[in-house]
């Protein structure tokens, strides 16, 4: 678990701001759920024989207020289950489908490595109450638009279909039979999952098992007409929109709630942590959690991995800097100067004041050195004589460095916009 300090935190703020703007364009609205949920929510939703539930969750007993009993609570390892719980409890689908998105920390007890931490952050989008492949495609297009907006390259889209439960049951029986014939080649996880969750064996990273997995029956060969039509409909929309993809029959995802479409955006530039964004359709999860059955689809992306990949690509992010650095040669001017600085801030100008020197502001040379180091575009110099005449000196520190002009304090509203380096926030 890591601290996030300036200037690195600026990358996060930039990404989050970009996501908010993009989600608004696609009419997705923000939802915020608790970090703590009842453990049973994840056992039912994610699946009891998944790595997350078996090995990775941070769970504990909390004394309940009711009769001194204990409640089993878990720090959320993912957020789809929490979003669905909130939707069910609030009856949010009473008037039709909803498009939602979230940002926040998740927690898994894993071996820390590049792009994988025990506290990590996800941004996710969920469309609940919609059944067609058009919504699957919309979410993939949303993710693709995000990569374009932030300049992310070297990611590729992989697709698969898991069909419906009865189709997976037929495939499961054939898959178990195949794996039993090669039981001596399975690793410990494979043998443990052989009868409880054989589909997850297909996602193994163990090189010794690749031949067994490659020769295993493919789920797509067991799909019926409706499942195939859904998958083909998705592909048709993606092709029409110029979205490149490959079909990966081994793509099964690590959560039990998926059906039909599953997809991942992956990269080869982050070592073993190659999945940048992943998701799929989970039409049965709402009913599993206790709501009225309704279809749903969504994805989640790893913030740390996306930012790490941008760094790997050499993407530069300008370090945030104030528009103005206030130079105060005379401590006596500070009280009145602050009124001017507050007026500038109210007008949307970012201002850093020279401060922390008590009654002695420090030499002009030292103040200008700090002004330059702040990255500000301008220095605002409150000289005693100019200030007494109702004026302040504006000195350029970047473009046209060294040039300066006098501005009247009573006309601040007219010249304040010339100091701004970014659009004013509404």
CATH code of 404's domain: 3.40.50.800
Query: Does residue 159 sit in the same domain as residue 281?
Result: yes
Domain count, the chain: 2
CA distance 284 to 294: 7
Q: Is residue 117 part of a domain?
A: yes
Query: Does residue 30 sit in the same domain as residue 109?
Result: yes
The CA-atom distances, in angstroms, between 263 and each of 28, 240, 248, 266, 288 are 20, 18, 9, 10, 22
Q: Is residue 217 part of a domain?
A: no
Query: Does residue 274 sit in the same domain as residue 404?
Result: no
Q: What is the pLDDT of residue 398?
A: 87
Q: Is residue 272 part of a domain?
A: yes
Contact 332, 359 (CB under 8 A): no
CA distance 94 to 414: 51
Query: Does residue 56 sit in the same domain as residue 141?
Result: yes
Pairing type for strands 275-281 and 259-266 reads: antiparallel
Query: Does residue 279 sit in the same domain as residue 360?
Result: no
- CA 271 to chain CA mean position, Å: 20
Query: Does residue 341 sit in the same domain as residue 281?
Result: no
Q: Is residue 319 part of a domain?
A: no
CA distance 23 to 103: 12
Query: Does residue 75 sit in the same domain as residue 54?
Result: yes
Grouped pLDDT means (10 residues each) for the chain, 426 residues: 87 94 97 94 74 80 74 92 95 96 93 79 97 96 96 93 89 89 86 81 83 88 94 97 93 76 89 84 92 96 92 78 90 87 94 76 85 92 90 90 90 92 46
Q: Is residue 195 part of a domain?
A: no
Q: What is the pLDDT of residue 256?
A: 67
Query: Does residue 142 sit in the same domain as residue 245?
Result: yes
Q: What is the CATH number of the domain that holds 113?
A: 3.30.930.10
Query: Does residue 93 sit in the same domain as residue 121?
Result: yes
Contact 412, 337 (CB under 8 A): no
CA distance 232 to 243: 14
Query: Does residue 361 sit in the same domain as residue 384?
Result: yes
CA distance 100 to 286: 15
Q: What are phi and psi of 300, to 5 degrees?
A: -135, 140
Q: Is residue 360 part of a domain?
A: yes
Q: By C-alpha distance, which of 217, 131, 130, 116 is closest to 173?
A: 217
Q: Is residue 199 part of a domain?
A: no
Pairing type for strands 156-161 and 70-75 reads: unpaired
CA distance 244 to 266: 13
Query: Does residue 118 sit in the same domain as residue 42?
Result: yes
Q: Is residue 213 part of a domain?
A: no
Q: What is the pLDDT of residue 424?
A: 39
The structure's pTM equals: 0.84
Domain span at 300: 8-163+223-312
């Amino acid at each position: 678990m890591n601290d996030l300090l300036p200037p690195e935190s600026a990358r996060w703020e930039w990404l989050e701001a970009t996501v908010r703007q993009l989600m608004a364009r696609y009419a997705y609205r923000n939802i915020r759920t608790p970090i703590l949920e009842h453990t049973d929510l994840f056992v039912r939703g994610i699946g009891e024989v998944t790595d997350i539930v078996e090995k990775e969750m941070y769970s504990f007993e909390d004394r309940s207020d009711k009769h001194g009993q204990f409640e089993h609570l878990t720090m959320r390892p993912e957020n789809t289950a929490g979003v669905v719980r909130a939707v069910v409890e609030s009856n949010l689908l009473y008037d039709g489908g909803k498009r939602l998105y979230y940002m926040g920390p998740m927690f898994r007890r894993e071996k820390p490595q590049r792009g994988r931490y025990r506290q990590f952050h996800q941004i996710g989008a969920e469309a609940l109450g919609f059944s067609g492949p058009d919504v699957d495609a919309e979410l993939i297009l949303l993710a693709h638009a995000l990569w374009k907006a932030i300049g992310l390259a070297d990611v590729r889209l992989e697709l698969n279909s898991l069909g419906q439960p009865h189709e997976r049951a037929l495939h499961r029986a054939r898959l178990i039979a195949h794996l039993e014939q090669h039981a001596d080649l399975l690793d410990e996880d494979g043998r443990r999952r052989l009868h409880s969750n054989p589909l997850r064996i297909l996602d193994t990273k163990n090189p010794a098992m690749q031949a067994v997995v490659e020769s295993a029956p493919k789920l797509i060969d067991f799909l019926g007409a409706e499942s195939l039509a859904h998958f083909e409909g998705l592909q048709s929309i993606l092709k029409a929109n110029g979205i490149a993809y490959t079909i990966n029959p081994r793509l099964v995802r690590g959560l039990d709630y998926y059906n039909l479409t599953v997809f991942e955006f992956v990269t080869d530039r982050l070592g073993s942590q190659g999945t940048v964004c992943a998701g799929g359709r989970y039409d049965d999860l709402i009913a599993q959690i206790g709501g009225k059955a309704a279809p749903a689809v969504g994805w989640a992306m790893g913030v740390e991995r996306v930012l790490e990949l941008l760094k790997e690509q050499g993407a530069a992010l300008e370090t945030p800097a104030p528009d103005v650095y206030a130079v105060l040669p005379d401590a006596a001017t500070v009280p009145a100067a602050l009124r001017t600085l507050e007026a500038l801030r109210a007008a949307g100008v970012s201002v850093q004041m020279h401060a922390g020197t008590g009654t002695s502001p420090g030499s002009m040379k030292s103040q200008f050195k700090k002004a330059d180091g702040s990255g500000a575009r301008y220095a605002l110099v409150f000289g005693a004589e100019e200030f007494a005449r109702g004026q302040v000196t504006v000195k350029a520190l970047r473009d046209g460095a060294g040039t300066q002009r006098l501005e009247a304090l009573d006309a601040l509203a007219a010249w304040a916009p010339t100091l701004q380096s970014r659009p004013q926030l509404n």
